[in-house]
């Protein structure tokens, strides 16, 4: 495909893109023209295949293919309302994948939307990774805060470890910290939280914050009263999760948080490096 043709198609795809209720979308009617489908009904056959592919990939079709109307100008200068479909980037990708690849525009679209969709996936995954790292850091601060509070109330480091373990047992339906490590194949020397999904990390953090608050409010002293408080708070958090259909002990482990942190730091250094090259 010649460079001039690539540039022309790129401009056409960018022009067909518009904002629909805050979401980046493409007009199916405009893509019909770009893809050189003369008949709307023939193009709809490709759209239907794309919808089926969307459903098979366990995505909600209506999130990516939205029926809308648009006004077109007739030869007489008057306007007429016609059917159209607002397509997300993912929907466009599926349409291109189910189109006639011998058409240059569709061959180009398969690459164009695949690359753009992949970029979006990378951004979304990075945001999820950052959220998990942030949640883990927050839990560390909450546990350090609780450790300091209960130290002043007669509980040493060993006692804090026992209290935290009893809290885990309450949160994970009877599984102790070590049992959860074995269940999730986590190294014995590593903290359990370093391999937990974001939801569970936040659950532990919430229970820990509750304990810190109530130890002060109830003026608790000694290992047993504080341990009971921490167990009760973890039970309460577990009950809330169970009511929402989540069993913490059944959630699969996530990637090692340390490796994730190193990856994010490496990515940041690369971004800064690339930025300097562009100056």
What would the pLDDT profile of 28-59 be if each residue is shown by its tens digit?
999 999 998 999 999 999 999 999 999 998 88
Q: Retrieve residue 168's tokens.
A: 């885990």
Q: Between the ranges 38-47, 109-118, 225-234, where is the mean pLDDT highest? A: 225-234
Say how far apart CA 84 and CA 47 lie, in whole Å.
Answer: 11
**Separation between Cα atoms, residue 83 and residue 29, nearest integer Å:** 8
Domain boundaries, the chain: 3-99, 128-278
Does the pLDDT value for residue 138 go beyond 80? yes
Res 168: pLDDT: 97
Q: What is residue 158's three-state secondary structure?
A: helix
| Non-local CB neighbours of 229 within 8 Å, separated by 6+ positions | 211, 214, 215, 218, 220
Cβ-proximal residues to 63 (8 Å cutoff; 6+ apart), any chain: 88
pLDDT at 75 over 70: no
Q: Residue 241: what pLDDT?
A: 97
Which stretch of DSSP H or E encloses residue 221?
none
Q: What is the pTM of this model?
A: 0.63
pLDDT class for 279, splitting at 50, 70, 90?
very low
Q: What is the pLDDT of residues 167-225, one digit of tens each?
A: 999 999 999 999 999 999 999 999 999 999 999 999 999 999 999 999 999 999 999 99
Joined tokens for residue 273: 């490096």
Between CA 197 and CA 105 the distance in angstroms is: 42
Q: How far apart are CA 92 and CA 16, in angstroms?
A: 11
Q: Per the structure block, which two tokens stand in for 141?
A: 């601060």
Are residues 29 and 44 in contact, defined by beta-carbon separation less than 8 angstroms? no
């Amino acid at each position: 495909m010649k460079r001039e043709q690539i540039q022309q198609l790129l401009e056409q795809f960018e022009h067909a893109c518009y904002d629909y209720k805050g979401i980046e979308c493409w007009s199916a009617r405009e893509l019909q023209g770009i893809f050189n489908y003369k008949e709307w009904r023939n193009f709809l056959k490709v759209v239907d295949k794309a919808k089926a592919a969307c459903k098979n990939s366990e995505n909600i079709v209506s999130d990516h293919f939205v029926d809308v109307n648009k006004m077109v100008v007739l030869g007489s200068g008057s306007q007429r309302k016609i059917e159209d479909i607002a397509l997300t980037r993912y929907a466009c990708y599926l349409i291109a994948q189910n189109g006639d690849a011998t058409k240059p525009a569709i061959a180009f679209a398969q690459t164009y939307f695949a690359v753009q969709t992949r970029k979006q996936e990378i951004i979304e995954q990075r945001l999820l990774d950052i959220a998990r790292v942030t949640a883990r850091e927050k839990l560390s601060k909450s546990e350090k805060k609780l450790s300091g509070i209960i130290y002043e109330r007669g509980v040493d480091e060993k006692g804090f470890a026992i209290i935290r373990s009893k809290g885990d047992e309450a949160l994970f339906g009877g599984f102790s910290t070590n049992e959860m490590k074995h269940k999730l194949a986590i190294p014995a020397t590593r903290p359990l939280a370093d391999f937990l999904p974001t939801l569970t990390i936040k659950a532990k953090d919430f229970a820990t914050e509750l304990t810190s608050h109530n130890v002060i409010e109830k003026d608790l002293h000694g290992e047993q009263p504080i341990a009971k408080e921490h167990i009760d708070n973890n039970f309460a958090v577990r009950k809330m999760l169970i009511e929402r259909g989540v069993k913490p002990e059944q959630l699969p482990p996530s990637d090692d948080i340390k490796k994730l942190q190193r990856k994010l730091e490496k990515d940041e250094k690369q971004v800064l490096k690339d930025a300097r090259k562009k100056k």
